[in-house]
Amino acid sequence: LKHFGSILLQRPRAPGNGHAPLHAVLTIRRAMQPCPTEQAWPLCRGAGDNGYCCNACGCYANGCNAGFFNPCGCGACPPPAGCGQALRRSYTADEWANWNSTPEGQNLYRWWADWIPTPEGQTWCANKRREARCVVNGMIQTWGLQALCEGEGVIDIGGDPGFVAAELLHSGIHVTVIDPAFGFAGKSDAWTTGYLQDPGHSQRVRSGAMPLRIVRAPFDQTFVSDPANQRLLEGASALVSLYPDEGTGFILEYSAARAMRTALIPCNECLQYFPPHEPTYEGFVKQLLLNDHHYLQQYGQNSPLRREQIWGTPYCQVLLSRTPALLQHSLLRSPCSALTDAEALELQRKRQQESQEVQQQQQQQQQQPSLSREPQLERPHQPQWMQPWPMPPT
């Protein structure tokens, strides 16, 4: 938390993963006070069951997916009890546009738009491209370029301002960005925007594929239930999302239900999503892995999330990845083993230990020059970074 505080309280330095500047963060913190009601559903701590909480814990990340937000910031009070005011979990594109027309929205947009062209802002953009390149390299290394280029391509959830999309296009992978706030945050820089609009991408991606599609809508139950989106969802080769905030729980549940290739960096600055029993980022990651275990049991799948480490990135180095189980078909779902919570955590600990052993081997290999790495979008003065996240042996 000291590191978290040092990032937030220093201006003009940007937050570590690209969230709101200081004045907006303080506004959020003031809202995150304990709910005035004492009513709290015990299932909130049940890790995977639907429930509610009134303790500013952001329990949607703990498996509660009723989707109610309230003035206290806990995001889970059931109406009409609890705070007595239910707000929607995600804003639509129209709501983002309306908010941007308010003085508060204009101030926040202007802060980012004025800061991005500065030397500090350009360093932040370069580091975000570096982070995105590492993730895309890892996706290619793990799943293969051909697999990612199949069907409708990769879905990038919450992908504003397009750093991951640019790196996917650079590798010849067509991508659909789903983000209701795309273009509304003021974080776009001229270089990334120009690259996304490059007509030459049509020659780099698979023949007949549209290089880039932008869908300004929240990725939620409404979106996945819309028949108009079924072709995109069923044909997607993978999901990727960097710091999806309140969308984390639904993304992981959806990918677990369909055993989809997934690469996700959980938000490391959103205290409201940290579980009350272990209110740290480490506790948040553990809770997500435990939730995933319950999702797999619920949907009869056997493709668990794995915790990886992204090498050489300037920000959060934790990544959760999902690779479909071998011989698993969407129409022939194999049941999961009936593990207890303790057994699931022990299994995850062993996988993490295996991953660390692989990482040690990677560190030894990094001393040797490699000619097979993916070309980077970084500017010439940018330093090289280390190998992307490795997968543990199966």
**Is 250 inside a domain boundary?**
yes
Verify that 177 and 96 share a domain, yes or no.
no
Verify that 341 and 210 share a domain, yes or no.
yes
Verify that 124 and 106 share a domain, yes or no.
no
pLDDT (tens digit per residue) in 58-75: 333 333 333 333 333 333
Verify that 262 and 172 share a domain, yes or no.
yes
Verify that 201 and 343 share a domain, yes or no.
yes
pLDDT the model gives residue 91: 82
Verify that 315 and 235 share a domain, yes or no.
yes
Question: ∠250-283-246 over CA atoms, to 5°?
Answer: 25
Q: How many domains does the chain have?
A: 2
pLDDT (tens digit per residue) in 13-53: 344 454 433 333 333 333 333 333 333 323 233 333 333 33
**Is 383 inside a domain boundary?**
no
Verify that 42 and 61 share a domain, yes or no.
yes
Give me the domain span that covers residue 162: 119-365
pLDDT the model gives residue 367: 59
What CATH number does the domain containing 361 carry?
Answer: 3.40.50.150
pLDDT (tens digit per residue) in 332-360: 333 333 445 565 566 566 656 665 665 66
Residue at a domain's end among 87, 115, 143: 115
**Is 391 inside a domain boundary?**
no
Distance CA 224, CA 312 (A): 35
pLDDT the model gives residue 344: 57
pLDDT the model gives residue 338: 41
Verify that 287 and 341 share a domain, yes or no.
yes
Going by C-beta distance under 8 Å and a sequence separation of 6 or more, which residues neighbour residue 394? none
pLDDT (tens digit per residue) in 258-292: 999 999 999 998 899 899 999 999 999 999 999 99
Verify that 108 and 126 share a domain, yes or no.
no
- Confirm if 246 and 89 have CB atoms less than 8 A apart: yes
Verify that 196 and 322 share a domain, yes or no.
yes
Chain-wide mean pLDDT for the chain? 73
Please give the structure tokens belonging to residue 341: 């919570």
Give the confidence band of 391 by pLDDT, cuts at 50, 70, 90: very low
pLDDT the model gives residue 164: 98
Verify that 110 and 129 share a domain, yes or no.
no
* SS3 of residue 127 by DSSP: helix
Lowest mean pLDDT, pick from 43-47, 114-118, 301-305: 43-47
pLDDT the model gives residue 364: 65
Beta-strand relationship, 236-242 and 153-157: parallel
Verify that 249 and 348 share a domain, yes or no.
yes
**Is 2 inside a domain boundary?**
no
pLDDT the model gives residue 348: 61
